[in-house]
Amino acid sequence: MSNILASKVAESGFTRMLERLGRDCGPTQFVREFLKNGMESITRTKKTGTILVDVDWEFYEDMGFFKMSFTDTGDGMTGEDMLKYIKDLSSSGGRNQYENFGLGAKISALTRNPAGIIYRSWKNGEGNEIVLRYDEETDQYGCAQLDLGDGKYGYFRSVDEDDKPDIIVDHGTRVTLIGKTIDEDTMQLPDGVNLTRESWIYRTINERFYEIDENIDIKVRIGYNRPRENTKHNHLLIAKGQKHIYESNAVHSGTVVLSDADVHWFILNEGVQGHGRHYVTGNTSIIHEGEIFDRTDGRANRASMFGILFGAKHVVLLIEPKGQYNQNVQRTALMRIDGNPMPWSRWSEEFKSKMPPEIKEYVQSLVQKASKDSHSDSITERLKALSKFYKVSRYKPSPTGEYNVDDGSLVATGSESTSEPRKKGGGTNSDGGGASGGTTGVKPGGVEDILTGRRKNSGSKAKEVRPNPFPRVDWVSLREKTRDEGELEDRAALYISSENLIKANKDFMGFQDVIHHFLTEYKDVPNSAEVISDTVMEWFEQQLMESVAGILSMKNRKMWSNEDIDKALSEECLTASIMQRFHLIREVNRILSSKLGKPLSKRQESAA
C-alpha cells in the first residue's frame, strides 16, 4: 500500500486553473470538442447517427434568446452518469468512455458560459438533465442544485417526454450553451474570429475535420438570425469535411507516399470562390486522425519549402504522418511523442524528389511567366567583378597591424575583447594539436571558435564550393497570375532562401511610381514604354540582388544570429532597401537618354 500523500487542488485554485486553461483555448475550439463527444457517442452505438448543431428552439420559444445547442443520437447517459463524468474536470484516474465530457469540452466551453451549460441526455428512453455553471458566491464551477418538486432538491432531474428533441428516439444527448448572461446570443460569431456571422459554425467544422465518418450526418444551422420561414437563407447544411470541399473544387489531386508520411495534394480551380462558407485556398497542413492541424497559408505558407514557389494559393498539401503523435492541449498542433520537432525539412525534400508532374507543370508555367522580365543573368555577370566586396572583413587591414589573421575566415580564433588572434611571427602550431596560435599568452576563444573553418587532413575527399552569391529575381504580378491576392501586398519583394530566389512584386507602387515618372518624361517618344519599363525594372532588380547578397555575407558572424539574418531578409527590409532613389534615377536617366534622347523636361529647359 502506498504511503504517498496525494496532491489536491483547492476549490479556488481549481477555478483559477480552469480559467487559465480556458484562456489557452481558441474561441472556436468548443465546437470541435462537443462534436467529438457526439461522434464518439454515436460510434459506440455501432449504428448510423446524426449530430445537429442548431439553435435550441425550445429555449428560444420559452425565453426569446438564441442559444447554441449540440444534439446527437449517441448512446446517451443516465443522470448518475452525467453527475459523475461532467461535474469534475477529470472523474477517474483511468480512461472512460465519457472522458471528453470531462476534459476538452469543459475546458474550452465552461469559462465562456459561466451562466450555465445545460446537459440533457436520454438512455433507454429515460431523460435527465443537469446544469453546470459558475457560482459567484463560492467562486466555484459545478452542478447547480435543481428543484425536484415536493420540496425536494437534487443535482439531476428527469426530463419530460415533450422536451426530447425530434431526432432522439431512445438515446442521445443535447448540450445547450447559455453564455455569460441569460440573454446572451451564443450562436453569434465569437470576437476575433474572421468568418461570417451566417455560416461561421459550418465553416469551422469543415476546416477542422478533414474527413467525417460516412455513418454520421452533421447538420448545421445557417442564417439562424433570419426569419425561420425564409428557408433560402435560414436552413440546415450538412458538413462533410474539408476533403469533400477540396475534391469538389480541384482540377487535379493525388497522394505522394513518403518514408513516414503521405502527402495528399490538390490543385484548386483558379476561379474557385468560397463565398464565406468554404475555405478554398492553398495551404500546407497536417492531418491526424481525420483532423487538420498546423495550417499555414498566405505569407506563412510552408508550400515554398515543398517547391511550390509560384501559385501556392491554388495548391493544397496535407501531410498525414505515420507513427505516434499527440495533440497539444489547445488542439491546434500535433507533437511527436518523443518530443522532437516535426520533420518538415525531410518531408519537403522527399516531396520535391517525388513531385507529381501535374504540380511541376503548373508551377513551371507560372515560373516561365515570372522569368520573362528577369535580368538576373546579365546583372550577375556585371557584379562578378565586384564579388570580393560582398565578403565583409573581420579585421581592418593595416600595414602596421599587430595581428596576422586567416583571410576569408568568418569567425576569428578569439574575440578582440576577450582574447587575441595570432601574433605577428607566431606562425602555426605544427605539432598536430590543431591550435591556430603558437604564441604564449594567447587566450583561446570558445570551442566553437576553435573549430570554425578548420579543414581536416584526413577523411572524405572534397573540393571547396563557392556558390553564386547573387540570387535570381523573378517578377510577379496579379495581372499575369504569378502573384496571389494578398501576397506581397504593398511590399516590394520576398526572398526564398531554399531556392536563392527573389520574388519581386511588379505591382508595388514604389516601382510603378518610377516607371510612371519616366513614361511622362518620354510620352511623346513612340514605343518608349517597353524600354522604360525594362530599364527601371533591371536597376531595381540589381538593388534587390545586391541587398540580399550583402545580407547573406553576414551569415555565421558572431554578432549576427539566424534571427538577425531573417529579419534583414524580410519583406519589409527588402522593401526599404529599394526605396533609395538618387543613384537609381541618375543611372536610369543616363541609359534612357542614350536610348531615347533627352527627356521632355530637359528639352523644355533647352527651348526656354
263 within a domain of the structure (yes/no) = yes
**Residues sharing a CB contact under 8 Å with residue 49, sequence separation 6 or more, in sequence order:** 38, 41, 42, 72, 73, 74, 215, 216, 217
CB 600 within 8 A of CB 530: no
pLDDT of residue 257: 98
The C-alpha cell 507516399 sits at: 257
pLDDT of residue 384: 84
2 within a domain of the structure (yes/no) = no
Are both 211 and 258 inside the same structural domain?
no
Are both 498 and 358 inside the same structural domain?
no
Total of domains in the chain: 4
How many angstroms separate the CA atoms of 78 and 405, rounded?
Answer: 81
494 within a domain of the structure (yes/no) = yes
DSSP states along 69-125: EEEE-S----HHHHHHHHSSS---SS--TTHHHHTHHHHHHGGG-TTEEEEEEEETT
Are both 227 and 265 inside the same structural domain?
no
**Residues sharing a CB contact under 8 Å with residue 44, sequence separation 6 or more, in sequence order:** 74, 75, 97
How many angstroms separate the CA atoms of 35 and 455, rounded?
Answer: 60
User: What's the whole-model pTM score?
Assistant: 0.76
Are both 264 and 233 inside the same structural domain?
no
> Which CATH number characterizes residue 270's domain?
3.30.230
Are both 285 and 323 inside the same structural domain?
yes
320 within a domain of the structure (yes/no) = yes
pLDDT means per 10 residues in the chain (608 residues)?
61 80 90 95 96 97 96 96 79 44 78 95 96 92 92 94 94 97 97 94 97 97 95 96 97 97 96 87 96 92 93 96 85 84 94 97 92 88 84 63 51 38 41 40 42 47 60 94 91 93 96 96 93 95 95 90 95 96 94 93 86
Can you read off the three cell numbers belonging to residue 265?
Answer: 495534394
pLDDT of residue 89: 60
Are both 234 and 260 inside the same structural domain?
no
172 within a domain of the structure (yes/no) = yes
142 within a domain of the structure (yes/no) = yes
Residue 171: which domain range? 11-239
Residue ending a domain, choose from 183, 210, 239: 239
How many angstroms separate the CA atoms of 102 and 95, rounded?
Answer: 11
Are both 225 and 315 inside the same structural domain?
no
456 within a domain of the structure (yes/no) = no
**Residues sharing a CB contact under 8 Å with residue 327, sequence separation 6 or more, in sequence order:** 288, 291, 293, 333, 334, 335
Can you read off the three cell numbers belonging to residue 14?
Answer: 481549481
SS3 19: helix
Are both 187 and 298 inside the same structural domain?
no
Are both 536 and 595 inside the same structural domain?
yes
> Which CATH number characterizes residue 105's domain?
3.30.565.10
CA angle 257, 260, 261 (to 5 degrees): 50
Are both 75 and 190 inside the same structural domain?
yes
52 within a domain of the structure (yes/no) = yes
Strands (E), 124-280: 126-135, 140-143, 146-149, 152-154, 157-158, 172-179, 216-222, 235-239, 250-257, 261-268
Are both 233 and 262 inside the same structural domain?
no
Are both 98 and 198 inside the same structural domain?
yes
